[in-house]
Amino acid sequence: MLTAALRKELLLQWRSRAQFMAVFVFGAAALLLFSFAVGPVAELLRQFSAGFLWLGLLLSSTLTLAESFHAEMENRSMEGLLLLPANPRALYYGKAVANWLQLTLLGIALIPVMVVLYDAGTTHVLMLILVIALGTAGLSAPGTLYAAMTAQVRSKQTLLPLLLFPLIVPALLASVKATSLIILGDPMNQVRSWIVLLASFDAIYWSLCGLLFGYVVED
Amino acid sequence: MNVDNNRFPRLPWIILGLGIVFLAIGSYIGLFVAPPEALMGQVQRIMYVHVPTAWNALLAMTFAFICAVVFLFKPDWKWDARMEAAIEVGVVLAFLLCCQGAIWAKPTWGVWWDWDPRLTTTAVLLFAFLGILALRKFVDDPARRAIWSAVATIIAYVDVPIVYYSVRWWNSLHQMQSSPETVSRQFWLPLRMNAFGILFLMTAFIMLRARVASMRLTHELAPPPALGETA
Amino acid sequence: MSGMIPGGWSFVVAAYSVTAIVLAIYGASVIARLRNEIARRNDD
């Protein structure tokens, strides 16, 4: 059941890969704009590069997440899906995983942008990708739940970030700190603790949101 | 909901009155009777309202969480009404807490905001619950509104300890000192009185506000009969 | 932290006033809304 849902989601996303390109351009543009806020001071840009990356990812995620229920809303296929003898949980996890994959890809795609704009390179690329994966997982779990809610509501574009942003503060803090340590150096090996915090946040919210999703889509 | 809704309810008024009395006496003691503290001077007196507000803000949010959980298990409209009231009162208290915190921080640390983990968590909580109030405003169907805001409340409340610990750790790396919130034993009287004062006020507010919510719900769920026209 | 903080009274007054004002305004708004609902109920 879950694999079927996941396969459907990935197929949908592959079909709308133009939309992914658009979100990537949005994210890259955001990173560019952040550098204008600071000014062409190489030192400062490098110091804040982690923060900029994650803010860019966060803003882009609202676009991705809002889009993810677009197909269901367009054709009213949500009701159809729920009529099937399928667990709403499978629907949720399928969407959440698909969103997570897309956000991780986005994060990885933004790494070279970050390296170029902020001179924020690092040799620990795998570690960076791990942090991006864990951080975007933290965005995707509650984000998918709230996207399902707000897709059916007016003023959806404002409500999704309004609900999501306060909630993911711990994931944002941990991701930024971990990324920052990877880029700027980690003499006291604190990265591990931040990664543990991130993983705990993910574990809690992936289970809690899955549990509660049934209530969100029931009639 | 078999209470006579046409008269003003009596019990909340009594509690409200009690609250005002306790708060007045507690504040008087805190302002004029208790001696100034050794290190902080007069500014310490702010704690006599700040700490009680903090306890009650958390209490309101916790009550909102309980209402949310109960509602999901046993869908009764009165729990939704109580939850709405608790969220709103919690938002007011959280906002108040941030104001008091800033007024405390300026003379103490020289800045309006010192990133104290408790206060920063309150600010995040304030935004989270404001978002839930906004969600309620934008959902027209009462059943959906109730279920969704209950889910959102549970998710937001579970986040509170996580936010607190992550901010605390984020802070400690920059060696910020958290605001000293311990009060010496001899000063507990104004603290306790104000705590009860705000507790009674909060309870009365939640009762009255829940009443407003129930009445609105009743109106929503049973529209007045059509004037001779079919729907 | 050493010594007394001078001029603390203005902040203390500010904190207590803000508290009183916010609670009073919110209380008044709840009571006003309740009055509205009761009036509407009586009209029906």
Q: Is residue B20 part of a domain?
A: yes
Residue with structure tokens 């000014």? A39
Min distance B43 CA to chain C CA atoms (Å): 5
B227 domain-assigned: no
Residues 6 or more apart whose Cβ sits within 8 Å of residue B22: B193, B194, B196, B197, B200
Answer whether residue B118 is part of any domain: yes
Chains contacting chain A through 3 or more C-beta pairs under 8 A: B
Nearest CA in chain B to C3: B39
Per-residue model confidence (pLDDT) at position C14: 93
Burial class (CB in 10 A: 0-12, 13-18, 19+), A129: middle
- The answer to whether residue C1 scores a pLDDT higher than 50 is no
Expressed as residue numbers, the domain containing B37 is: 11-179+186-218
Q: Evaluate whether residue B229 is within a structural domain.
A: no
Round to whole Å and give the CA distance between A176 and A201: 14
The percent of residues in chain B predicted with pLDDT above 70, rounded, is 86
| Count of domains for chain B | 1
For residue B76, which of B1, B153, B154 has the smallest C-alpha distance? B1
Mention every residue, 6+ apart, whose C-beta is less than 8 A from residue B58. Answer: none
Domain range for A7 is: 2-217
Assigned domain for B1 exists: no
Asked if residue B214 lies in contact with residue B1, where contact means CB atoms within 8 angstroms, the answer is yes
Comparing CB atoms, the residue among C2, C11, C18 nearest residue B106 is C11
CA B110 remoteness from chain centre: 27
Does B67 map to a domain?
yes
The alpha carbon dihedral of B200, B205, B207, B208 has a sign of: positive
Mean pLDDT of chain A: 89
Residue C3's pLDDT is 44
Question: Which CATH number characterizes residue B161's domain?
Answer: 1.20.120
A203 interfaces chain B, CB cutoff of 8 Å? no
Could you report the per-residue pLDDT of B156-195, keeping only the tens digit for each? 999 999 999 999 988 877 655 555 555 555 578 888 999 9
Contacts C27 to B, Cβ<8 Å = 16, 201, 205
Residue A76: per-residue pLDDT: 66
User: How near does any CA of chain B get to the CA of C6, in Å?
Assistant: 8
CA-to-CA separations, B199 to A50, A147, B92, B111, B178, in angstroms, rounded = 43, 37, 14, 30, 25
**Closest approach of A146 to chain B, Cα-based (Å):** 8
Q: For residue range A46-89, what is the model confidence (pLDDT) as tens digits?
A: 999 999 999 999 999 999 999 888 777 776 666 666 666 567 88
What is the per-residue pLDDT for B177?
Answer: 55
CB contact under 8 A, B99 and C37: no
CB-based contacts of B61-66 (< 8 A; 24+ apart in sequence): B61/B86, B61/B87, B61/B90, B61/B94, B61/B125, B61/B129, B61/B157, B61/B160, B62/B157, B63/B206, B64/B90, B64/B129, B64/B153, B64/B157, B65/B153, B65/B154, B65/B157
| The token pair that represents A113 in the structure block | 């942008």
Could you tell me if residue B230 is inside a domain?
A: no
Q: How many domains does chain A have?
A: 1
Distances (CA, A) of C5 to A51, A155, B21, B46, B160: 36, 49, 30, 13, 33
- Shortest Cα distance from A15 to chain B (angstroms)? 31
Is the pLDDT assigned to residue B58 strictly greater than 70?
yes
Residue of C35, C36, C37 for testing the chain B interface, max B β-carbons within 10 Å: C37
As for the ipTM of the complex, it is 0.90
Q: Which of B169, B172, B175 to mutate to test the interface with A (most CBs of A within 10 A)?
A: B169
Domain-embedded: residue B223: no
pLDDT, position A120: 87
Nearest to C5 among B41, B53, B96 (CB): B41
